[in-house]
């Protein structure tokens, strides 16, 4: 069984590596590679499930590899197999096999054929790591891969305005979920005083012993897990992103937002259920928000004019009910519901183009006159109110903009004195002050010392807010991302338990990614290309290789698991004390905006309609 679990992990990775090196123009090799990998994965998934069913039904918990270890800290990869894993594994393998077969013909001669199969392979790698994960650290690796592959699939038609804009919008919601996982990991370090696997959560006595004296910490861990699950599965207040994600090709919408990735939120709740099952207030919160989402999404689905939006909101409604079922503790009903919803939505999305064509033809031959209906005054007013709210999608988009993004933009616009020429001078002064205070920490007033980490974390947050709101200088925005990471490292340095080698590991990935990003921007300028952040420039049309390099540096500086920054972000939170909740909030907000700003810079420079007009380009509304 251990060998099969290794096969289930490494087979998609092998398929991705082969897909990356295959020639772009050879559609046959590209499609057959993905098709054979998906088919082999399906056989391996069926075999693993059969062995588990016919065996002792025992849970397999395999500690695979220690990535980084130091005093009191152990970041290791752990894989887990039980009934939850088997259900998700079979659904994922079957859906990927079907979608891969369908896409071979659906995307024939489509510009970006190789790119589509590369991203699908990347997505499947992240999905398998997530569902086979045995602890939060391993789950977070797959979670991050799912987030970045989602961005690439939505922005597949990268020469159009709306797909790219919606991809950035969806990534912003995903980023909130990412940091929710990180904060849950931070609180878990303090609760357990070590990294624990999901298998440890099955020990009811152990969980009860820790929660009995740390009930508030347990509640906030559960809250962070729910925020992450809600963001990933489009539950309130994040429900508006799923219809926007349908801008990608129909096969990617079916596999990603119809069947697999959108059900990762319930997977997280199912996997951590033994931790919060005895927290009654948490279960009530999950059930109420899930039921509220279901009612809202059902009403919204009934007034949508787009068939994909109707399917998206119908799926959101069913996932809301799945959240209720998990909160009630009926795990098997939830798993059956997940499988049924995944298969149904995939089928609906795959046939949606044919349904639209059929309905258009039918409307040309059938005209149904509207019959007058008598309304009561008060019922009519309620109907119209619900209709308008549903039509506006309950103003969820405007709510997030008014309460979160717009205040940040107003705050960032006030830092007009920062330019690319003086940003490093200003930050150099801040660094010198920080180093001086670190060296003279013994003579600082003990009353003021605990506030120094928050002061430098606030400075770092203000810098990344300025980067997020910058619309003129690309180099300034990119430089502020680097300085944000340095400010966070200085802030954590004031804690007595900090290990400076951990900060070096964290900043090593930042400096490498930052340098590569600066070089890429300068090379683009040397080619005579105008770069700014006031619009989408689409420079990937002329410079695809440079776009790929800058994309790697953007996700590297955001903490994607290709650089030491990924582990470094977890190390930052490891050195934040249990009582430093405000500091954890500041660092979390910085990481949200840092990742979002780096992807925003990439999208503005390299994606969207190409700025030059010597070729055909899609209209803004396409």
Q: 3-class SS at 371?
A: coil
What per-residue confidence (pLDDT) applies to 267? Answer: 92
Q: Which two tokens stand for residue 482?
A: 């680097």
Q: What is the pLDDT of residues 219-271, one digit of tens each?
A: 888 899 999 999 888 888 888 888 888 877 888 888 777 778 889 999 999 99
On the 0-12 / 13-18 / 19+ scale of CB atoms within 10 A, 355 is exposed
Residue with the two structure tokens 């592959």 = 149
Residues 207 and 320 grouped into a single domain: yes
For the purposes of burial, counting CB atoms within 10 Å of the CB of 305, is it exposed (0-12), middle (13-18) or buried (19 or more)? exposed
Domain presence at residue 403: no
Residue 50 corresponds to which tokens in the numbers above?
């059969």
> Is 458 part of any domain?
yes
Question: Could you tell me how many residues make up the chain?
Answer: 622
**Read out DSSP for 423-489?**
HHHHHHHHHHHHHHHHHTGGGS-TTTGGGHHHHHHHHHHHHHHHHHH--S-HHHHHHHHHHHHHHHH
Closest by CA to 97, choosing from 182, 12, 205, is 12
What pLDDT digit, counting tens, does each position of 164-202 carry? 888 888 888 888 888 888 888 888 888 877 777 888 787
Element at 382 (helix H, strand E): helix 377-391
Say yes or no: 337 and 420 in one domain: no
The confidence score (pLDDT) of residue 372 equals: 64
Task: Give me the residues paired with residue 70 across strands.
Answer: 73
145-172 in b/e form (b: 16+ CB < 10 A) is bbbbbbbbbbbbbbbbbbbbbbbbbbbb
Q: What's phi and psi for 136, nearest 5 deg?
A: -65, -35
pLDDT band at 357 (very low <50, low <70, confident <90, very high): low
Same domain membership, residue 225 and residue 77: yes
Number of domains in the chain: 2
Mean pLDDT of the region 452-469: 88
Looking at residue 197, the DSSP 8-state letter turns out to be B
List C-alpha distances in Å: 303 to 345, 387, 391, 395, 603: 18, 7, 6, 14, 32
Residues in contact with 475: Cβ distance below 8 Å, sequence separation at least 6, in sequence order = 420, 518, 521
Classify residue 220 by burial, with Cβ atoms within 10 Å: 0-12, 13-18, 19+.
Answer: middle
| Mean pLDDT, range 449-466, rounded to an integer | 87
* 56 contacts: CB under 8 Å, gap ≥ 6: none
pLDDT tens per residue, range 398-429? 777 777 767 777 777 777 777 777 777 888 88
The percent of residues above 70 in pLDDT, for the chain, comes to: 93
Given 315, 343, 359, the domain boundary residue is: 359
Task: Give the predicted TM-score (pTM) of the model.
Answer: 0.89
User: What is d(CA 316, CA 289) in angstroms, rounded to the nearest whole number?
Assistant: 12
Do 465 and 340 have their domain in common? no
| Region 593-609 average pLDDT | 90
* Bridge partners of residue 133, in order along the sequence: 79
Cβ atoms 533, 601 nearer than 8 A:
yes
> Which structure tokens are listed for 357?
């064509």
Do 301 and 158 share a structural domain?
Answer: yes
* 491-515 burial code (b ≥16 CB/10 A, e <16): bbbbeeebeeebbebbbebbebbbe
Q: What's the rounded Cα separation, in Å, for the pair 595 and 560?
A: 9
Q: What integer best gives the mean pLDDT of the chain?
A: 83
Mean pLDDT of 534-543: 85
User: For residue 289, what are the domain limits?
Assistant: 2-359
Name the phi and psi angles at 68, rounded to 5: -150, 135
- Alpha-carbon span 481 to 591, nearest angstrom: 10
**pLDDT exceeds 50 at position 621:** no
- Residue 571 has a CB neighbour count (10 Å cut-off) of 22
Q: Please identify, among 320, 343, 359, the residue that sits at the C-terminal boundary of a domain.
A: 359
- Tell me, yes or no, whether 336 and 457 share the same domain: no
Q: Are strands 60-70 and 73-81 parallel, antiparallel or unpaired?
A: antiparallel
Q: Do 445 and 351 fall into the same domain?
A: no
Q: Which residues contact 483 (CB under 8 A, 6 or more apart)?
A: 423, 424, 427, 460, 463
CA distance 484 to 500: 18
**Residue from 235, 430, 404, 232 nearest 316 by CA:** 235
Q: Burial level of 262, CB count in 10 A (0-12/13-18/19+)?
A: buried
Residue 90 has pLDDT above 50, yes or no: yes
Residue 622 lies in a domain: no
What pLDDT, on the 0 to 100 scale, is given for residue 602?
A: 92
User: What pLDDT does 504 receive?
Assistant: 87
Both 189 and 62 in one domain: the answer is: yes
DSSP 547: H
Report helix, strand or coil for 394. helix
Query: Does 365 map to a domain?
Result: no
Same-domain check for residues 8 and 128: yes
Looking up tokens 């569902």, which residue turns up? 131
Mean pLDDT lowest among 48-52, 76-80, 613-617: 613-617
What are 607's two structure tokens? 């994606």
Q: Indicate the DSSP class of residue 543.
A: -
Q: Is the pLDDT reported for residue 375 higher than 70?
A: no
Average pLDDT over residues 529-556: 86
Residue-level pLDDT at 361: 61
pLDDT at res. 516: 92
* Of 64, 53, 90, the residue nearest 197 (C-alpha): 64
The dihedral sign for the CA sequence 143, 149, 154, 155: positive
At 332, list the tokens: 């098997």
Tokens (6 digits) for 323: 């959240």
Coil/strand/helix, residue 375: coil
418 plus 344 within the same structural domain: no
383 falls within a domain: no
Taking the C-alpha atoms of residue 133 and residue 123, their distance in angstroms, rounded to an integer, is 15
- Shared-domain flag, residues 349 and 419: no
533 assigned to some structural domain? yes
Whole-angstrom CA distances from 459 to 116, 384, 490 are: 40, 48, 11
Whether residue 615 is contained in a domain is answered as no
In sequence order, what are the residues at sequence separation of 6 or more whose Cβ sits closer than 8 angstroms to the Cβ of residue 112?
156, 157, 158
Take residue 187 and report the two structure tokens written for it: 């609180």
CB neighbourhood size of 320 (10 A) = 26
Among 29-43, 166-180, 349-363, 393-407, the minimum mean pLDDT is found in 349-363
Residue 18: other Cβ atoms inside 10 A: 16
Whether 143 and 134 have beta carbons less than 8 Å apart is answered as no
Contact indicator for 149, 119 with CB cutoff of 8 Å:
yes
380 assigned to some structural domain: no
285/139 same-domain check: yes
**Distance, CA of 556 to CA of 559 (rounded, Å):** 5
User: Which of 357, 177, 397 has its CA nearest to residue 250?
Assistant: 357
User: For residue 152, what are its two tokens?
Assistant: 């690439």
């Amino acid at each position: 069984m251990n060998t099969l679990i290794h096969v289930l992990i490494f087979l998609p990775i092998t398929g991705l590596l082969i897909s990356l090196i295959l020639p772009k123009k050879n559609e046959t090799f590209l499609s057959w590679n993905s098709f054979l990998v998906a088919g082999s994965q399906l056989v391996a998934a069926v075999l693993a499930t059969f062995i588990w069913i016919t065996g002792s039904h025992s849970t397999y918990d395999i500690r695979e590899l220690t990535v980084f270890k130091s005093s009191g800290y152990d970041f290791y990869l752990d894989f887990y197999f039980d009934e939850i894993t088997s259900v998700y594994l079979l659904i994922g393998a079957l859906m990927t096999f079907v979608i891969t077969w369908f896409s071979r013909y659906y995307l024939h001669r489509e510009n970006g054929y190789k790119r589509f199969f590369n991203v699908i392979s990347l997505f499947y790698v992240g999905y398998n790591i997530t569902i086979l994960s045995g602890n939060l650290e391993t789950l977070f690796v797959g979670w991050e891969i799912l987030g970045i592959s989602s961005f690439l699939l939505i922005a597949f038609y990268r020469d159009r305005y709306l797909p790219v804009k919606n991809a950035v919008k969806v990534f912003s919601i995903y980023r909130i979920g990412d940091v929710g996982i990180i904060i849950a990991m931070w609180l878990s370090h303090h609760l357990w005083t070590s990294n624990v696997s999901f298998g440890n959560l099955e020990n009811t006595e152990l969980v009860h012993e820790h929660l009995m004296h740390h009930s508030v910490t347990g509640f906030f861990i559960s809250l962070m897990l729910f925020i992450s699950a809600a963001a990933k599965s489009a539950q309130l207040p994040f429900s508006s992103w799923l219809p926007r994600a349908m801008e990608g090709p129909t096969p990617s919408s079916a596999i990603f937002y119809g069947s697999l990735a959108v059900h990762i939120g319930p997977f997280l709740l199912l996997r951590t259920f033994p931790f919060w099952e005895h927290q009654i207030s948490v279960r009530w919160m999950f059930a109420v928000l899930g039921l509220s989402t279901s009612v809202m999404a059902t009403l919204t689905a009934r007034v949508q004019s787009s068939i994909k939006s109707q399917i998206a909101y119908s799926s959101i409604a069913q996932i809301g009910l799945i959240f209720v079922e998990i909160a009630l503790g009926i795990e098997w009903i939830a798993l059956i519901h997940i499988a049924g919803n995944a298969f149904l939505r995939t089928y609906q999305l795959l046939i949606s183009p044919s349904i639209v064509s059929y309905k258009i033809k039918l409307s040309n031959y059938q005209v149904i006159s509207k019959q007058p209906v008598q309304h009561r005054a008060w019922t009519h007013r309620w109907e119209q109110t619900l209709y308008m709210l549903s039509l506006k999608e309950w103003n969820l988009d405007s709510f997030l903009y008014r309460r979160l993004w717009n205040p940040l933009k107003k705050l960032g616009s006030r830092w007009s004195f920062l330019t690319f020429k003086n940003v490093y001078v200003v930050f150099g002064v801040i660094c010198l002050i920080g180093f001086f205070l670190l060296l003279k920490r013994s003579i600082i007033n003990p009353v003021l010392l605990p506030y120094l980490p928050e002061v430098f974390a606030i400075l770092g947050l203000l810098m990344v807010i300025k980067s997020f709101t910058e619309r003129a200088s690309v180099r300034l925005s990119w430089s502020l991302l680097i300085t944000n990471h340095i400010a966070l490292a200085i802030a954590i340095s004031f804690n007595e338990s900090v290990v400076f080698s951990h900060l070096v590991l964290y900043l090593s990935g930042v400096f490498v990614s930052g340098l590569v990003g600066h070089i890429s921007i300068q090379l683009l300028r040397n080619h005579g290309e105008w770069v700014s952040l006031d619009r989408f420039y689409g420079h990937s049309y002329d410079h695809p290789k440079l776009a790929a390099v800058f994309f790697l540096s953007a996700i590297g500086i955001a903490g994607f698991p290709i650089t030491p920054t990924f582990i470094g972000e977890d190390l930052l939170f490891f050195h934040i004390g249990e009582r430093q909740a405000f500091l954890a909030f500041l660092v979390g907000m910085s990481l949200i905006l840092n990742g979002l700003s780096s992807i925003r810079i990439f999208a503005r420079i390299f994606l969207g309609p190409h700025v030059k007009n010597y070729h055909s380009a899609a209209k803004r509304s396409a």
